[in-house]
Structure 1
Amino acid sequence: MDQVIVVTGGSRGIGRATAVRFARPGIALVLVARDAVALSTAAEECRRRGADVFTLPIDLATPDGPSRAADAAVERFGRIDVWVASASVFSYGSVVDTPDEVRDRLIETNLLGHMRAARAVLPHFHAAGRGTIVFVGSLYSQVAGPYVSSYVAAKHGLLGFARSLRQEMVGHRGIRITIVLPASIDTPIYQRAANYTGRTPFPLPPVVSADRVARAIVRVARGRRHEVGVGAAQFVTRPLQFLAPRVYDRFIRALQHTLGLRRRPAAASPGAVLAARHDRGAVSGGWSRFPVRGPR
């Protein structure tokens, strides 16, 4: 067995694309997500590529979820070499309109779940003398946007946590802490987002494929870089935010109103934030095929 790789959020989107990228003979994959149905189809896809796959239908937002996932992976395969922290949910809505339970659940999933996972997996890394964590952050780890404040707060927190943890691990040469920062990616997360805006959400263009992020995750897990951005076209917003913050605030608000939240009416919904919506899962949300209008 060459490597044991745990992929959280492995049933859909970036996590699923990453699992498929890693899958080959000699690789043991542990796929963790809430949806057992989507996990099973993701596992089938990876097994066809020769990987040994173990699925764990665990909600990482629960306090003991990350430790149960880490312990189960070690019990099954004897070790963990790479932990890919890609589980994530999304929410649209103003600070006032977003329910407390949706905001709190998003932060539990997108931030606290990954912090708990790091705490759970690090003792195994220390015992082995090596191991890699790849956090999946966001462009929103570095910039802000309106009506996505909970997501922005969680992703800002995740970047800060990753950097602090990396500093703690400086004396442990075999342990690497890395983070990948995607911009708008073609995944189902937008269709499954909580929404309290009254409008239909769309990813801000340009949208790139989840496989592009997966390739970056694989490279980071095997290489030496600590932080990698994906989707260079949108990363021009970072200098704009710092050099001309008032211009950025007006620009990003207009962009969100024009392209991110279309005028098509949409009922208020918690989406898949509070509970899993079971289906076969997919890597793509169909957005790259419809860059202006979105999927039908």
Structure 2
Amino acid sequence: MTGRVVVIVGASSGIGLAAAMAFAARDDDLVLVSRGAEALKAAEVVCRAAGSSEVDVLVEDIGDPAAAARVVAWTLGRHGRVDVVVHTATVMGYGAVEAVPAEVFTAVVDTAVHGTVHLAQAFLPVMRRQRAGAFIGVNSLLGSVTVPQMGAYTAAKWGQRAVLRTLQQETRDEPGVHVCVVSPGSVNTPIYHQAANYTGRLARPPWPALSPDRVGEAIARLADRPRRHLSIPVGPANPLVIAGFRLLPLVYDRLVGPLFRFAGLTRDPAEPTTGNVHQPIPALERAHGRRPNPAAGR
């Protein structure tokens, strides 16, 4: 399937950029949305090189309630339709619930939960009128389990998952409109290095970390053949972790804290930082993660 109009929110970095390249390889027309103009221009160049002849970029913050309406109006004015919407935009905050500043906690939740709501309210009516379309929300393994020191992110992903599941139920009356959920585990993207952090230690993606290219390709395949499953997992460890959380809660709670400190945090000290929660960090926006600059985003 080629020639679709695909809107990707959060397209300048990580999974969003990887998904954009996967759709570009299918010669789809892309509308790339993100907060960072500089990184979006770089994403445009990469996607054209990957095969897409039509790539447009829009600088918008999906946390703004009016942003989604501007994106849908621009897309319809330019292309006349929208076939796929992918919401990958997310920000992360590390730290105990008691330690994360309220405005940081709220912003992390808003990006995932209200960002999904804003996009759904703007794009699903269009898909209903078309009687066709795929709305894909990128959730997380942490939308099904909880992890200490990641309360803001887990709250965001549990809330987002609830919204997406409700949307799946509410669109059952329109067979051509699909609301899909992709739930990857640990992915080697810059989000860990850009996150707000109040743990005192630098963060890293826990092992085994997937390549963002694998998740991006999974998203594109799902758009090729949309499915109304509860959620499409990406990552070998997801079923085991979820089973432990649900079936062996006492064992899970005993192990999850030490395992997170071992696998999710380095030994390197880190000063408190808001990371990219309130504004992007252009130097760290790319598809794949790397060792962070400890001074970035303080």
**Structure-2-length-normalised TM-score:** 0.93
2:254 aligned with 1:250: yes
Superposed counterparts of 1:1-296, under 5 Å: 2-24=3-25, 26-48=27-49, 49-225=51-227, 226=229, 227-279=231-283, 281-286=285-290
Change in 2 beyond 3 A, CA 1:283/1:183: same
Q: Distance in 1 between matches of 2:182 and 2:63?
A: 21
Q: Could you say what secondary structure the match of 2:137 adopts?
A: strand
Q: Distance in 1 between matches of 2:191 and 2:176?
A: 34
Whether contact under 8 Å (1:183, 1:235) holds in the other structure is no
Q: Could you say what secondary structure the match of 1:95 adopts?
A: coil
Q: Distance in 1 between matches of 2:282 and 2:77?
A: 27
Pairwise CA distance, 1:25? 6.9
Pairwise CA distance, 1:280? 7.4
Change in 2 beyond 3 A, CA 1:175/1:234: closer
Whether contact under 8 Å (2:134, 2:226) holds in the other structure is no
Q: Could you say what secondary structure the match of 1:185 adopts?
A: coil
Q: Distance in 2 between matches of 1:211 and 1:118?
A: 25
Aligned residues: 287
Q: Distance in 1 between matches of 2:200 and 2:233?
A: 31
Change in 2 beyond 3 A, CA 1:244/1:273: same
Pairwise CA distance, 1:122? 1.1
- More displaced stretch, 71-80 vs 139-148: 71-80
The equivalent of 2:294 in structure 1 is none
- More displaced stretch, 157-166 vs 3-12: 157-166
Q: Distance in 1 between matches of 2:15 and 2:263?
A: 22
Whether contact under 8 Å (1:196, 1:268) holds in the other structure is yes
Q: Distance in 2 between matches of 1:212 and 1:26?
A: 18
**Structure-1-length-normalised TM-score:** 0.93
The equivalent of 1:292 in structure 2 is none
Which ranges of structure 1 fall in alignment gaps of 5 or more residues?
288-296
The equivalent of 1:291 in structure 2 is none
Describe the superposition over 1:100-129 as per-residue Cα deviations: whole angstroms up to 9, x where unpaired: 111111111111111110111011111111
Whether contact under 8 Å (2:190, 2:284) holds in the other structure is no
Pairwise CA distance, 1:26? 4.7
Q: Distance in 2 between matches of 1:259 and 1:129?
A: 45
Letter in 1 for 2:11: G
Which ranges of structure 2 fall in alignment gaps of 5 or more residues?
292-298
CA RMSD of aligned residues (A): 1.4
Q: Percent identity between the aligned chains?
A: 37
Q: Distance in 2 between matches of 1:25 and 1:138?
A: 25
Change in 2 beyond 3 A, CA 1:279/1:77: farther
